[in-house]
Amino acid sequence: MASAILPLSSPSRPLRNDLKANWKRGTSNRTFLRKDYTKAKQSFTRTRMTLAVEVSRFNDITMAPPDPILGVSEAFKADTHEMKLNLGVGAYRTEDLQPYVLNVVKKAEKLMLERGENKEYLPIEGLAAFNKATAELLFGANNAVILQQRVATAQGLSGTGSLRLAAALIERYFPGSKVLISSPTWGNHKNIFNDARVPWSEYRYYDPKTVGLDFDGMISDIKAAPDGSFVLLHGCAHNPTGIDPTPGQWEKIADVIQEKKHIPFFDVAYQGFASGSLDADASSVRLFAARGMELLIAQSYSKNLGLYAERIGAINVVCSSSDVAERVKSQLKRLARPMYSNPPVHGARIVANVVGNSDLFDEWKEEMQMMAGRIKNVRKKLYDSLSAKDSSGKDWSFVLKQIGMFSFTGLNKAQSENMTNKWHVYMTKDGRISLAGLSSAKCEYLADAIIDSYHNVS
């Protein structure tokens, strides 16, 4: 507020000095007398007092709630308990629960430094070498969509920014079209479409009875949606449930989407991180592309290359011809220009170097397997601890069936709050835990916390 910075008792120093100087010199304005100085001072004081009580123009802005995912990390930092665990944000940690910078990233950065590359603006659509690498990683270099130049690729501000750019494209060129979102989904999806003013509705995905996929519910909701809707699908390692359709179920999902003339819209935030294989994790996207369908795919390198803060990802639009793809790309650029002008270069160069250098590429695959492997180990250890410690006979095998970074525990809001308040286990209130933030040493402690919350809190 103005009152916090403006003095109440006198004119500002420059004005005071001016007034005094004029008075002393008596030259600039002969009629400027002491009474004038006093009058000016009084009027200034009145103005200042008015400003002091004036209500802020931003007063109607209410306090925004903390982000349900990133807010968890803030609360975690403030906790001093030695057993505390941050299972909120989906970020990989080492066995010592420290952040991890991949060796291939360090090597790529060293190469970049040696080359002394400049910091000039990138084109609006991003780094050409990155765009080529990212599309090839997604589809495979020899995929027909690549060979026929049917993919419009634009570098985006990681997964979130790429989804946001696609949402802007939908809002502009498919006004009124709905995006169907899985229930539940990653916490930010709804925000992205809300802010882009794209209507959305949910399709059933999770069955609490089986802690598995509600496949029939999913199919019937996709069938019931207006023809030509966009269907948002998680390419692999569904967040938050960790439950993916089987290859046979993917085929049926593709059948219904084709029948209904819907447009599939994939969010691929975990390629390579789910199974440890880049190709296996892209198989859902490739299945749809192989049917000749037009589709959208947002990619992120936050998790698989650990480039969270570099904000590197892409939006790919597979079109029916190279001509359409060219036009779509031109419009993606048009949308990006007034939003952020052009994307950052550092992460794009890292990806292009890692994917474009066969030694680094192989090393990356090994590191990814190591990360995915560590998560699989703690998943198994958590399951073993839950089964050994819980004498109630409850079947915890769903923990083993889920894949990727997360486990959807089935704990409700009150139970999730008990995990935090009593056990210092920080997690989102939908019952999701990020196994990437768990160490083997803390699996038993976590199992105790889950068993207590599940059986003793309703």
Residue 126 interacting with ligand PLP (CB under 6 A): no
**Least spacing, CB of residue 158 vs ligand PLP, in Å:** 3
Choose, from 186, 200, 364, 423, the residue flagged as catalytic.
186
Q: What's the gap between Cα 255 and its chain centre?
A: 29
Residue 313 found at the interface with ligand PLP (CB under 6 A): yes
430 is catalytic: no
Strands (E), 94-178: 151-157
155 binds ligand PLP (CB under 6 A): no
* Residue 196: how many other CB atoms lie within 10 Å: 19
Sign of the CA dihedral running 200, 203, 209, 212: negative
Residue 434 touching ligand PLP (CB under 6 A): no
Helix (H) or strand (E) holding 318: strand 312-318
Q: How far is CA 230 from CA 42, 169, 218, 299, in A?
A: 65, 12, 14, 17
Could you tell me which of 387, 398, 393 has the C-alpha nearest to residue 210?
A: 398
Using the rule CB under 6 A, give the single segment among 155-163, 275-283, 343-351, 391-399 that binds ligand PLP: 155-163
Is residue 322 within 8 Å of residue 144, measured between CB atoms?
no
By CB under 6 A, name the one of 153, 160, 275, 415 that touches ligand PLP.
Answer: 160
CB of 306 to ligand PLP, least distance (A): 11
**Angstrom distances, CA of residue 53 to CA of 8, 13, 39, 46, 354:** 11, 22, 22, 11, 59
- Any alpha helices (H) in 242-392, and if so which ranges? 247-259, 278-281, 283-290, 322-340, 346-356, 358-389
Tokens of 359: 């030694």
Quick one: which of 11, 88, 126, 159 contacts ligand PLP (CB under 6 A)?
Answer: 159
User: Is 221 among the catalytic positions?
Assistant: no
Positions 235 through 274 that interact with ligand PLP (CB under 6 A): 239, 267, 269
Of 272 and 313, CB closest to ligand PLP: 313
Report the residue from 93, 150, 234, 349 that binds ligand PLP according to the rule CB under 6 A. 234
In whole angstroms, give the CA distance from residue 203 to residue 235: 16
Binders of ligand PLP among residues 170 to 229 (CB under 6 A) are 186
The number of CA neighbours under 13 Å toward the Cβ of 352 is 16
Name which of 139 and 273 has its Cβ closer to ligand PLP.
273
Q: How far is the CB of 92 from ligand PLP (least distance, A)?
A: 12
Under a CB-based contact definition with an 8 Å cutoff, are residues 383 and 400 in contact? yes
**Residue 448 is a catalytic residue:** no
From the list 200, 267, 364, 396, the catalytic residue is 267
Compute the CA torsion angle 275, 280, 282, 283 (nearest 10 deg): -130
Give the DSSP letter of residue 440: G
Under the binding rule (CB under 6 A), the answer on residue 72 touching ligand PLP is no
CB of 196 to ligand PLP, least distance (A): 15
CB nearer ligand PLP, residue 265 or residue 454: 265
What count of other Cβ atoms lies within 10 Å of the Cβ of residue 58?
7
Stretch of 48-56, 102-110, 158-166, 419-427 contacting ligand PLP, by CB under 6 A: 158-166
Bridge partners of residue 206, in order along the sequence: 213
385 binds ligand PLP (CB under 6 A): no
Total residue length of the chain: 458
Select 265 or 383, whichever has its Cβ closest to ligand PLP. 265
Nearer CB in complex with ligand PLP: 19/372: 372
Alpha helices in 157-241 (DSSP H): 158-173, 188-195, 215-224
Q: Which of 11, 90, 344, 437 binds ligand PLP (CB under 6 A)?
A: 90
Please tell me the distance from the alpha carbon of residue 152 to that of residue 124, in angstroms, as a whole number: 13
Residue 189 or 349 with smaller CB distance to ligand PLP: 189
Site string for ligand PLP, 278-307 (x = CB under 6 A): ----------------------x-x-----
Q: Site for ligand PLP (CB under 6 A): how many residues?
A: 13
Task: Give the nearest distance from C-beta 379 to ligand PLP in angstroms.
Answer: 17
Cβ 422 to ligand PLP shortest distance, Å? 27
- Catalytic residue numbers read 186, 267, 303
**Residues at the contact surface with ligand PLP, assessed by CB under 6 A:** 90, 158-160, 186, 234, 239, 267, 269, 300, 302, 308, 313
